[in-house]
Homo-oligomer: A and B are copies of this chain.
Amino acid sequence: IEEEIPSSYSFLPGKELVQVYNEKPDKYELVLALDTGDLDRLGKRVSIFREADRTVNIDHHTTNTEFAQLNLVKTNSSAVGEIIYQIIKMMGITIDRDMATCLYVAITTDTGGFRYSNTTPITHQIAADLVNSGVNVADISQIVFETTSLPKIKLMGKVIENLELLENGKLAFVHITDDMLKSTDAGEEDCDGLVNIGRNIEGVEVSVFMRQRGDDEYKINFRSKTYVDVSRIASRHSGGGHVRAAGCTVKGNMNEIKSALIKEIREVL
């Protein structure tokens, strides 16, 4: 791969088998693309893929473009880890603790710890077998789900400080400005998940997350809980998405954008 494995995943057994390359890579006989909807997602690795004698594509995205010679796309699998588990089982290979740990991490991260709607009975059956192979559930969960960087927790504090509840507690606004990132030493990756702070508050139906991009541009994420179709609001601002999660990018002053959005959302609350 092109970059080092993130340090938060350095506990994974077998990480020493992953090699980072700087120069033009070798030509390979067989290349497998995992969890890759299309060739663009391979980044610089696309040349390795294109030059290989044989190519395989194992994925679970509904948008997969079947770009390889051999394509195994199972869209009802919660994670590619599930598909790999099934292949290993079909090959008659015994899954040891290290293999189980990697597969478990692949599955638990893709299902949000068995919490997303993609979690199926099969997901849990596979987890049962992996835990039986000696996965350390508590340690892995602590590392994968609980551990936070100091900048991220500080940024979360700032976001909470600025949280606004409107319309009788049914509408929540949170935002991140460049100043907030600077003062907490936080980066783009630390913004992950903060969109949910507003949505998770009891009684909130719509939450709006505004992220500053340069001086007068805001990336806006909408979340709703039970009845508001936020994709409609996003599409009025040339954005899009789903009924419960949508987004758009708007130019202007934060307070003016906010006032306009409050007016629009008030009508559908």
Contacts and interface: CB of A to CB of B under 8 A. Distances in A.
Interface of A: 8, 112-117, 119-125, 127-129, 131-132, 136-138, 141-142, 145-150, 153-154, 156-157, 160-161, 163, 165, 169, 196-197, 199-203, 225
Contacts of A128: 121-125, 128
Nearest to A133: B121
Contact of A113 (B114, B124, B201): B114
Given A160-B154, A160-B156, A202-B148, A129 B121 contact: yes
A126 to B, nearest CB: 8
16 contacts: A112-B141, A115-B145, A116-B141, A117-B138, A121-B129, A122-B128, A123-B131, A124-B125, A124-B128, A147-B200, A147-B202, A149-B202, A150-B165, A153-B163, A154-B163, A156-B160
Contacts of A145: 115
Given A114-B114, A115-B145, A153-B200, 14 more contacts: A114-B127, A121-B132, A123-B128, A123-B131, A124-B125, A124-B127, A124-B131, A125-B125, A147-B201, A148-B201, A148-B202, A153-B163, A154-B160, A157-B160
Contacts of A202: 8, 147-150
A120 B132 CA distance: 7
Given A128-B122, A153-B197, A137 B117 contact: yes
Main secondary structure of the interface of A (DSSP, over half): helix
How many copies of this kind of chain does the complex include? 2
Contacts of A225: 142
Nearest to A157: B160
Contacts of A113: 113-115
B146 A200 contact: yes
Contacts of A120: 131
A100 to B, nearest CB: 11
Contacts of A199: 146
Nearest to A198: B153
A137 B132 CA distance: 23
A96 to B, nearest CB: 16
A137 B150 contact: no
A147 to B, nearest CB: 6
A146 B116 CA distance: 12
A176 to B, nearest CB: 14
Contact of A196 (B123, B146, B156, B169): B146
B119 A137 contact: yes
Smallest CB-CB A-B distances: 6 pairs: A157-B160, A124-B128, A115-B141, A117-B138, A121-B132, A121-B128
